[in-house]
Amino acid sequence: MGADHYQVVTTTDSTDEAHRLAEGIVARRLGACVHIVPITSVYRWAGEVTREPEWRLVVKTAADRVGTLIDYIREQHSYDLPQVVAVPIAAGSPEYLDWVTAETRG
């Protein structure tokens, strides 16, 4: 059952954008749940090493929603190159994973 579910992760630079993205994702049933976690990112951009506060969004979704979810994040995100990675859930509570599937259906 695990490969049927994913966590899709992205980051953004404000709590307002994090909440806007999360609420849009859940409202459109692209994800069942989104965790928003404050983090500090260190990365190289335009030749410079940068350290910035960001907010990580971790979206729990069904495998058949991943492509549409990634497209939605790319369209709605303010970054020129947003981080969007999908990580398969190897295992989990069957009841929770059933809930994720149910919540990503229209």
pLDDT at 3 over 80: no
Average pLDDT across the chain, whole number: 95
pLDDT category at 106 given cuts 50, 70, 90 is confident
pLDDT category at 1 given cuts 50, 70, 90 is very low
8 Å CB contact between 89 and 23: no
Domains located in the chain, CATH noted: 2-103 (3.30.70.120)
Question: Which residues are within 8 A (CB) of 2 and not within 5 positions of it... i.e. 6 or more apart?
Answer: 88, 89, 90, 91, 92, 97
Round to whole Å and give the CA distance between 17 and 50: 20
In the block, tokens 């993205």 appear at 21
pLDDT category at 101 given cuts 50, 70, 90 is very high
Average pLDDT score over residue span 46-58 = 97
pLDDT 10s digits, 63-86:
999 999 999 999 999 999 999 999
In 3-state terms the chain splits into helix, strand, coil percentages (rounded to 5) of 40, 40, 25
pLDDT at 24 over 90: yes
